[in-house]
Amino acid sequence: MDFVELCEQTAQKFLQLQSRQKELENISTVIFNALSNNNKLLIFGNGGSAADAQHMAAELVGRFLKERKAISAIALTTDTSIITSIANDYSFDKVFERQIDALGKRGDIAFGISTSGNSKNVYLAIKKANEIGLTTIALLGKDGGIIKDIAKISFIVDSNYTPTIQELHIFIIHNICKIIEDLWTK
């Protein structure tokens, strides 16, 4: 796929996302309500999705566009000592599941990001979060993979091209952050 085709595909998918604004508002409201009740948002993913998790946490803990109270959001992708010890002692599949088990409590939000929808460590973390009473949200690509079947809320970017999925995931994350921030500053 050349650059122009990539841009055209991304633009088409972007237009499709605009028609799904109500879904983004619902996701944002679910997160806002949990955060308003002194719960936290635990965000995780691999590779580019790990970067997106960190980006989302930064926008919420710091600020997106408005001055407001700091929001309790944690990217589970940032503590290399935890990640490498879990990967070494258990397996890489457990790096997020163990953190959800340690940090998550009923009422928190587990927000998993996977461009394939099949990342085993994201799947296991969502599964554990469901078991202990977290609300689970998944931001996925392709057909949503195995994760769409266990997350309470799934938002899928219907594309098989990873760069397009990643570009739209950050657009979605920025939308969610804006909606949460607008609710927070009402």
pLDDT tens string 67-114: 999 999 999 999 999 999 999 999 999 999 999 999 999 999 999 999
Closest by Cα among 57, 54, 127 to 94: 127
Domains and CATH numbers, the chain: 3-184 (3.40.50.10490)
Mean pLDDT to the nearest integer, 12-22: 75
- For position 9, what pLDDT does the model report? 72
The pLDDT assigned to 17 comes to 67
Q: Which residue has the higher pLDDT, 178 or 13?
A: 178
Beta carbons of 119 and 142 less than 8 angstroms apart: no
Nearest partner of 86 among 44, 55, 144, judged by Cα: 44
Cite the annotated binding site for substrate by residue number. Answer: 46-48, 59, 88-89, 114-116, 119, 166
Q: What are the φ/ψ torsions at residue 135 (nearest 5 degrees)? A: -80, 130
Residues forming the annotated binding site for Zn(2+)? 55, 59, 166, 174
Half-sphere exposure of 136 (CA within 13 A, CB side): 25
Binding site residue list: 46-48, 55, 59, 88-89, 114-116, 119, 166, 174
Quick check: 169 and 157 in contact, CB under 8 A?
A: yes
pLDDT band at 161 (very low <50, low <70, confident <90, very high): confident
